[in-house]
Amino acid sequence: MNIKGFRSLLERGLIAEFGPEIIKGYLVELFQSRHIGVKEATEWIEQNKSIWNSLKPEQQAQLNKVSGKLGNINYINADWAIDAFRKDLPALASLFLGWKKAHNWLERQLDEIKKHILA
């Protein structure tokens, strides 16, 4: 195996290993960078705003690039995302835990993201 092949194999293995944390980071960063708190998230939920469509094209491309190396992403669901929010965005975690409409919206958004990155 040449160096390039070894590097590619190692990179795929590392991304697959740390993939859940990478995707959690993207999700948390999306909300933090836009200063999305409970008020703004409630507006997104009420308007049924698409998280995927709110991403910049380069963010979508980056997610697509990483996703090809993640393998199985069935772990991405609302409960997984709420866990991602607990540390850095606890008010949002509470919103998604305590409001069924918010939880369902988050689940739909994550399903949409998975659909796009698996395409």
Taking only the tens of pLDDT, the chain with its 119 residues reads: 455 554 554 455 555 566 778 778 888 988 999 899 999 999 999 999 999 998 889 988 888 877 666 667 888 899 999 999 999 999 999 999 999 999 999 999 999 998 888 76
| Closest by Cα among 22, 117, 2 to 61 | 117
Residue-wise DSSP of 67-109: HTTT---TT-SHHHHHHHHHHH-HHHHHHHHH-HHHHHHHHHH
Which residues, 6+ apart, have CB-to-CB distance to 103 below 8 Å? 78, 82, 96, 97
The token pair at 5 is: 């092949």
Residues in the chain: 119
